[in-house]
Structure 1
Amino acid sequence: MIHHDPNRVPTVIQSFCRRLADNADDPVSAFVYDLDALVQRVRWLRSHLPEGVELFYAIKANSEASILNTLAPWVDGFDLSSGGEVQKVIGSDLTNACVLSGPGKLDSELRLAITAGVERVHLESLDEIRRLNTLAAEAGITQRVLLRVNPVLPQTLSSRLSMAGQPTPFGIEERQLAEAVKRVEGSEHLELGGFHVHAMSHQTDLHRHQPLLDGLLDKWPIWQALAEHPATITQLNVGGGMGVNYLGPDQFNWPALCQHLHQRLAWLSNPPRVRFEPGRFITAYCGYYLMQIIDLKHNHGEEFAVCRGGTHHFRLPAAQEHDHPVVHLPADPGRGGSERRVTVVGQLCTPKDVMARGVRMTEPRRGDLLVLPLAGAYGYNISHADFLCHPRPDLHFIHGGSI
């Protein structure tokens, strides 16, 4: 298993960050993405997949062109959730299969997806069935689709961010699934191929994710039998949702999940073609957010390191309400001193601009670098970059130790 220590930054990243700071006029703030590590990560994920199980990448986690181009040879396709993401893939000249999912799709986005030739559209509601059929008819095509289901799930399978098994705007309630299947089959310009369930995110517990897959595979023959011709229903998209542990080295046990899935599929007489579509679980580990200390101060018994950048660049810690791991790179690595607990903050005029509290540092000083690992997903792309009109961070993509 690949181990990720959130308190360690590879030497190549440390050296690159120091060079950035040495060549800058102002204190630095930047994202650094290690593309070699990204390839290693996705190859490792693929190596454990059961035969025939597909791996798509949900680009909402990080849709930078360099990330997509690096992943393209190693993933079966891309999961898209907006017209903007469709445009981004089109603009990158990628040839991977794509699907369009997500609630609240505009007619213009559905038209764009049809024109772009997406492999599947994941339908989220009964009315979306009607709308897509009309648009496909206008285009003179038959659009292949999956039905996204919000199934009945035990409460024990919930996670920090649940999309199914409870009232949410995602998917079609399971009790309406028979009607949804009937409507798709009655739509001249739609072709149903299976079902999609993205039930949760931030799930770090293998022993909750295994029964989720078990439950979906138990439901598979029941859902398949709803179709007039069950043999044409072949695909089960089980989403992503495997979490990242930002606070320690123990990560989600992907090999064990894949082995469990392999065994379950072997037991089925008519197994579906299973597809995963993780985002965070693929790219989080390849990214680093760099900050440089501008000022150090004490207020009411607490010591603060005020740094270039902040949550307007890297919103993840505030969004998930955790103290992000921080690695201290002193300007003088050999200096000694006492260890102190420091709260790492950014430049924003809000007390919520906090990256981490209680970070242990040895004699932090102005000009020292701080590196926040596990910043490759849901970092810059979910941040309020225009707040206070600060400069946007530089994005650096390194391969073999250089840009």
Structure 2
Amino acid sequence: MTRYTELAERYGTPLYVYDLDRVAAARRDLLEALPEPFSLFSAVKANPHPEVLRVLAGGDGRVCRAEISSLGELAAALEAGFDAAGMLYTGPGKTGGELRDALAAGVRTFSVESASDLEHVGAAAVAQGARAQCLLRINSASASATTSIRMTGRPSQFGIDAETLGEVLPRLREVPGTSIAGAHFFPLSNASDEDSLVGEFRNTLAVAAELEREHGLPLRFVDIGGGFAAPYAVPGERPVYEKLRGRLEDALDATFPRWRLGEVHFACESGRYLVGDSGVLLTRVVNIKESRGRTFVILDAGINTFGGMSGLGRLLPVAVRPEGPEQAAQIADGTGLSASLVGPLCTPGDVLGRQVDLPDLRVGDVLTIPNAGAYGPTASLLMFLGRPAPAEVLVRGGEVVSATRIEHRRSEVAPLDGGAPRGGGPA
């Protein structure tokens, strides 16, 4: 019986297991891959478990800050020990209430997506007698990498189109309660290799320098985004970028030579790279059936458990990690199964992978989906069909340090006018 099988027997399935030592290793590797003055933002959305965030927050003197986009993420980051003053609040739909509460908690840096977004931030800051430092998120018209998930260069709710910056910048400079501190870029996700990643960073730095030169964009702080690769729900190893620091320093010297004097501060951000390889999802085979020549392996985990892009058909297929040489041989030589992995939900969309290579299986067997530490329960359809959330177990040094489950409950909601809830319908 493997360690994972033991945990599945002890806590049941579906079950996430997160190794905190691997979170710490990913944090260390990425910080060491970046030039020394860089800041690193950890995207809370990737895995908001408080123990995972506590490791990412560190406390070892190395700069790791929280990137948040909701009051829930703000609360989780504060609980984990992140400093509110160092956080970056992002997102295209910041409400007045969110901005008020974030400013009251001490958040002072915001990524803004448009002129009106900046005005909303400014109005909230003025109401509290504060001043918000704002990074203009730029939707660049150009790109470098072509084999990754593009996040820029097309119509989007994210960012100010670079070609319009010269026209809108005078208006942006005059928004009360704000100061334009710099720019925020996020051109791609999951770069295919280090050359693609470096090429995109170089392109981003060149665009930033051009916008500063042509339009006078203030650049005291520049977030050049992420794109760090990590396998997702398939076997594989997280890359270690051994040459990235030197190549980034060369690119900075070429575009922003004053960075070494501290006149411009740079940052990167990451979600999946920091937490992805720390987690595995354990799920049990509930049934195996044949339908018109195809095999379906029905699991107790579906898109309500692991919905994060796989349930939307964007990152199919997942793959399982063999737990021994016999299983590995069956997958390698094709003597196992080729089947669709589906969940228990009453919807045809509950598919985790199609034509997945599997070992020979029986009802009751436990499968291990590796590299599942990012975009797990909180990126899934947790409440669909009323099934309980998966348990989440955290280990350090091989020992269990936490075992919890997200619980949902319905609570009373007071009207915004402060009066008692009115009858005649659900609160």
TM-score w.r.t. length of structure 1: 0.86
1:90–1:116: 8 Å Cα contact kept in structure 2? Answer: no
Instruction: State how far apart, in whole Å, the 2-side matches of 1:70 and 1:80 are.
Output: 16
* CA drift at 1:145: 1.2
Instruction: State how far apart, in whole Å, the 2-side matches of 1:143 and 1:51 are.
Output: 26
Instruction: State how far apart, in whole Å, the 1-side matches of 2:321 and 2:235 are.
Output: 13
Instruction: State how far apart, in whole Å, the 2-side matches of 1:242 and 1:333 are.
Output: 31
- Residue 202 of structure 2 is matched in structure 1 by 214
Aligned counterpart in structure 2 of residue 108 of structure 1, from 97, 120, 138: 97
Q: Give the secondary-structure state (helix, strand or coil) at the position aligned to 2:287.
A: strand
- Residue 90 of structure 1 is matched in structure 2 by 78
Instruction: State how far apart, in whole Å, the 2-side matches of 1:44 and 1:321 are.
Output: 25
- Residue 7 of structure 1 is matched in structure 2 by none
Instruction: State how far apart, in whole Å, the 2-side matches of 1:297 and 1:187 are.
Output: 62
Please list, as runs of the form range in 1=range in 2, the aligned pairs for 1:344-359 lying within 5 A after superposition: 344-359=341-356
- Residue 234 of structure 1 is matched in structure 2 by 220
Answer yes or no: is 1:293 the counterpart of 2:285: yes
Answer yes or no: is 1:302 the counterpart of 2:294: yes
Answer yes or no: is 1:23 the counterpart of 2:17: no
- Residue 65 of structure 1 is matched in structure 2 by 50
Superposed CA deviations along residues 290-327 of structure 1, whole A, max 9, x for unmatched, are: 10112222222222322212121001323324111212
Structure 1 segments unaligned to the other structure (5+ residues): 1-10
Q: Give the secondary-structure state (helix, strand or coil) at the position aligned to 2:104.
A: helix
Aligned counterpart in structure 2 of residue 314 of structure 1, from 281, 301, 306: 306
Q: Give the secondary-structure state (helix, strand or coil) at the position aligned to 1:157.
A: coil
| Amino acid in structure 1 at the alignment position of 2:20 | L
Instruction: State how far apart, in whole Å, the 2-side matches of 1:81 and 1:135 are.
Output: 16
| Amino acid in structure 2 at the alignment position of 1:30 | L
* CA drift at 1:352: 2.6
Instruction: State how far apart, in whole Å, the 2-side matches of 1:105 and 1:85 are.
Output: 13
> After the TM superposition, which of the residue ranges 123-132 and 240-249 deviates more from structure 2?
240-249
* CA drift at 1:274: 1.6
Instruction: State how far apart, in whole Å, the 2-side matches of 1:119 and 1:132 are.
Output: 10
Superposed CA deviations along residues 174-233 of structure 1, whole A, max 9, x for unmatched, are: 1232344323432342122110111222332433332322222223333334676x7x63
Q: Give the secondary-structure state (helix, strand or coil) at the position aligned to 2:41.
A: strand
> After the TM superposition, which of the residue ranges 302-311 and 176-185 deviates more from structure 2?
176-185
- Residue 6 of structure 1 is matched in structure 2 by none
* CA drift at 1:276: 0.4
Aligned counterpart in structure 1 of residue 360 of structure 2, from 351, 363, 387: 363
Answer yes or no: is 1:34 the counterpart of 2:19: yes
* CA drift at 1:353: 1.9
> After the TM superposition, which of the residue ranges 364-373 and 72-81 deviates more from structure 2?
72-81
Q: Give the secondary-structure state (helix, strand or coil) at the position aligned to 2:244.
A: helix
| Amino acid in structure 2 at the alignment position of 1:318 | G
| Amino acid in structure 1 at the alignment position of 2:89 | L
Answer yes or no: is 1:284 the counterpart of 2:271: no
* CA drift at 1:361: 3.7
Answer yes or no: is 1:400 the counterpart of 2:397: yes
Aligned counterpart in structure 1 of residue 177 of structure 2, from 189, 201, 222: 189
| Amino acid in structure 2 at the alignment position of 1:300 | R
Instruction: Identify which of structures 1 and 2 has the higher relative contact order when contacts are C-alpha pairs closer than 8 Å and 6+ apart.
Output: 1
Answer yes or no: is 1:326 the counterpart of 2:311: no
1:31–1:289: 8 Å Cα contact kept in structure 2? Answer: yes
RMSD: 2.8
- Residue 153 of structure 1 is matched in structure 2 by 142
Q: How many residues align?
A: 384
- Residue 245 of structure 2 is matched in structure 1 by 258
Superposed CA deviations along residues 13-52 of structure 1, whole A, max 9, x for unmatched, are: x40x22233336xx62111111111111111111121121
| Amino acid in structure 2 at the alignment position of 1:351 | P
> Identity over the aligned pairs, expressed in percent?
27
> After the TM superposition, which of the residue ranges 166-175 and 262-271 deviates more from structure 2?
262-271
Q: Give the secondary-structure state (helix, strand or coil) at the position aligned to 2:273.
A: helix
Instruction: State how far apart, in whole Å, the 2-side matches of 1:117 and 1:53 are.
Output: 22
| Amino acid in structure 1 at the alignment position of 2:354 | R
Q: Give the secondary-structure state (helix, strand or coil) at the position aligned to 1:103.
A: coil
Q: Give the secondary-structure state (helix, strand or coil) at the position aligned to 2:120.
A: helix
Structure 2 segments unaligned to the other structure (5+ residues): 401-427
TM-score w.r.t. length of structure 2: 0.82
1:79–1:100: 8 Å Cα contact kept in structure 2? Answer: yes
> After the TM superposition, which of the residue ranges 94-103 and 173-182 deviates more from structure 2?
173-182
Q: Give the secondary-structure state (helix, strand or coil) at the position aligned to 2:67.
A: strand
The change in CA–CA distance for 1:329 and 1:365 in structure 2 (over 3 A counts) is farther
* CA drift at 1:75: 4.7
Aligned counterpart in structure 2 of residue 275 of structure 1, from 253, 267, 277: 267
